[in-house]
Amino acid sequence: MGLFSESTMKSMYNALSGTWFGPVAVVVVNHGIWSPRVNCIASGWVATPMIQEALDDPAVSGPILAV
């Protein structure tokens, strides 16, 4: 029973798989020895000039902000 034993990995997988970013965390745990870079897409708005122009237009921002 060490840090990378099968039961430890299963426990880590089960604990992480239920969280919001569970699948990403599982990749990091399973491949952590190689220091991976994992991309994850989180939905939401990023403050950029293009988004600000859209939010300044009531016809566009109304449906966006109504959600």
Overall number of domains in the chain: 1
Q: How far apart are the first and last CA of the chain?
A: 49
pTM summary value: 0.31
Range of the domain at 21: 6-66
User: Do the domain assignments include residue 1?
Assistant: no
Q: How many angstroms from the chain centroid is the CA of residue 51?
A: 21
- At residue 47 the predicted structure's pLDDT band, cuts being 50, 70 and 90, is confident
Confidence of residue 60 (pLDDT cuts 50, 70, 90): confident
Let me know if residue 21 belongs to a domain: yes
Handedness of CA 27, 29, 34, 40 (dihedral sign): positive
| Any domain includes 14 | yes
Which pair of tokens denotes residue 42?
């989180």
Structure tokens at 10: 């299963």
Confidence class for position 37, pLDDT limits 50, 70, 90:
low
Residue 54 pLDDT: 83
Structural domain includes residue 47: yes
| Residue 37 belongs to some domain of the structure | yes
